[in-house]
Chain A
Amino acid sequence: MTTIVEPVPRGAFTRRVGRHVGDWIPALVVFGLGLASWQWLFPWLGVERFLLPRFSDVLDAFWTQRDSLWSAGWFTFKEALGGFALGCGGAIALAVAFGRFRRVGAALMPLAIAANAIPILAFAPITNAWFGLLSPWSKIVIAAVLCFFPVFVNTLRGLTSVQPESIELMRSYAASEVDVFTRVRVPTSLPFVFTALKVASVLAMIGAVVGDFFGGSTEALGIQIESSVQLSRYEEAWAAILVASILGIVFYAAIAAAERRALSWHPSTRGASE
C-alpha cells in the first residue's frame, strides 16, 4: 500500500497558501464542470429525475430536510465511528501480539488472509439476527470487521519492517524489549498505521451505511436513503448521500490531520528538498 504524500512546503505563509491554491485549481475546475453538467447538461440531454435529479433540487432538499438528514447522518456516523474504533483497536492489538510472537503469528497468518477473502457485507443480514434489527451493534460490527484487515496487515508490516541493524543497535545498548518497542517499532510503524487508518475511515462509513440498508432504526441514514427512493423522493435520497459524503470526507480529513501532526518529522510532510 502506498502512502499518500501530501507535501506541505515550508516558507512564508502567503507563499504556502499561494502554492496551495495553485495546487487545487485543476481539481476545483473539474469539480465545477462536473456540478455544471449535473445541473444543466444532463437534464438537457433528457436524463430522468429518478436517475439523477437536478443538483439545485438536491441542494434544496438538503436545506429543507437539514434537521432530519443531519440527525440521521450523525446516527450512522456514530455507528461508523464505533466500528472504526473497535475494528482498528482490535487490529492494532492483534498486530502487536503477532509481531511479538512471530511463530504464532506466522502460523495463524493464513487463517487471517483466508478470513479477509470472505465478503463481509454478506453477513449484514445475519448480524441483524445476532444483535437485533434495531441495535446499532449489528452495523458497528460490520464496520469493525471491514476496518480490521487493512489496519491489521499494515500495522504488522510496520512493526516488523524495522532494519535488523536498528535492533542490533538497541541490543548494543542493552535496551529492554519495551524500549525497542516504544522507541523503534512504534515510530517505524506509524506511517503504515496512518495509511491504513485513512482507508479504514472510508470503509467504516461504507460498512455503517450498507449495514443500515438491511434494516434498522428509521433514524439511520441508510434507511432514509432506502425509504426516500421507495417513496420516489429522489432529491432526498441524493441529499442523504451528500450528507454521507460530507461526513466521510470530514472523517478522512481528521485522520489525515492527525497523521500530519504525528508524523511531523516525516520527509513527506516536511518537504524533503531542504
Chain B
Amino acid sequence: MNADAVVSIQGVTKTFAKANVTALENISVDLLPGEFVSLIGPSGCGKSTLLRVIGDLIEPTTGTVTVNRKSAHEARLARDYGIVFQDSVLFDWRTVAKNIALPLELLGWDRRRRAERVKEMTALVELSGFESHHPWQLSGGMQQRVSIARALAIEPALLLMDEPFGALDEMTRERLNLELLRIWHQLGSTVVFVTHSISEAVFLSTRVVVMSPRPGRIRGIVDVDLPQPRTVQTHENPRFFELVTAVRELLRGIESAEEDGTLESELLAAEEAT
C-alpha cells in the first residue's frame, strides 16, 4: 500500500448474497493524488459497485478501502468526496443555485458563504446566469454540469463519477469531456471515472483499469502516457489509437455478463431493497 494514496483498495471482494453473485473479487489498487483513473469493463463487471464501495455506499464483503488515510466510512462522514451519477439527480424543486448549495446547506454554511461558493461553481462549469433556472429548463448536458458543480462545491479531494456522460449525445459528451479535463487541471483533484466507452476512458485518464465480469476482477491496468493537456487533437494522435487498441485487447474475450441475465443495476437495486 502506497502511503500517499488518496484511495487505497486492498483485497476487496463483494458478494451479493441474495442473488448469489460475486460482483467483485480480490480487487487491489492504489490511486495517487491528482490521478484521473477510469474503470472500464462490460456490463456486470462490478465497476459501479467498486465506485460505491469507495464511496462507502456499499460495504465490501471482505477487504479494506481507505480514502484520505481514513476508512471509507469515516471519509464519507467527513464528506471527503463528491459524486456524480449517470442521471444528474438534480432536485426539480430547487433552482440551479440551490441544487449546487445543497451539500453546503447540509454542512451548515450560512447564506452569504453559500452564495459565494455557488457563484464560483457556476462560473467553473460555465453556467453563470442560469442560477435561478430550474433543472427541467436545462438541456441534459447543462444538467450534468450542475451535477458536477454540486459535487465540487464542498471542494472534495476525490471526485467519483459513475458514467456521468453515458446518457448524453456524442457531441455534448466530447465537449463535457474537455470541460471536465479543464476543471480537473484547475482543481487538481483525484477522479475515479466509470465508463464503458474505450475512447472516453483513454482520452480522459492517466490510468485505465480494465475489469472482467463475474466475478469482477482487474484484468489489467493501462498507463495512458498521452501528453497533457489533452485537446481535440489528442483524438488524432497515433499513440491514442495504440492505447485504445491496448485497452480493447484487454477487454477482448471478456464475455458480457448481460448474457447471463442479471445486470449490475438490478443487483444493486436488489441490494437496496434488503
Contacts and interface: CB of A to CB of B under 8 A. Distances in A.
Interface of A: 163-166, 168-169, 171-175, 179, 183-184, 187, 190, 263, 265-267, 270, 272, 274
A272 to B, nearest CB: 6
A184 B106 CA distance: 13
B141 interface: no
A172 B85 CA distance: 12
B93 A265 contact: yes
B72 to A, nearest CB: 11
Given A172-B76, A172-B79, A267-B92, 10 more contacts: A168-B57, A168-B83, A169-B83, A172-B55, A173-B102, A174-B77, A179-B106, A265-B134, A266-B92, A267-B134
Interface of B: 52, 55, 57, 76-79, 81-83, 85, 87, 89, 91-94, 102-103, 106, 134, 136-137, 154, 268-269, 272
Contacts of A267: 92, 134, 136
B176 to A, nearest CB: 19
Nearest to A102: B273
Contacts of A171: 57, 76
Contact of A172 (B83, B87, B91, B136): B83
A183 B81 CA distance: 21
Contacts of B82: 172
Given A175-B106, A179-B106, A265-B134, A168 B76 contact: no
Contact of B272 (A164, A172, A179, A272): A164
A164 B83 contact: no
Contacts of A272: 136-137
B117 to A, nearest CB: 15
A164 B274 CA distance: 13
23 contacts: A163-B89, A164-B269, A164-B272, A165-B85, A166-B91, A168-B52, A168-B55, A168-B85, A169-B83, A169-B85, A172-B81, A173-B106, A174-B78, A183-B91, A183-B102, A187-B91, A190-B93, A263-B93, A265-B92, A265-B134, A266-B93, A267-B92, A267-B134
Contacts of B134: 265, 267, 270
Contacts of A187: 91, 93
Contacts of A183: 91, 102
Contacts of B94: 265
A101 to B, nearest CB: 15
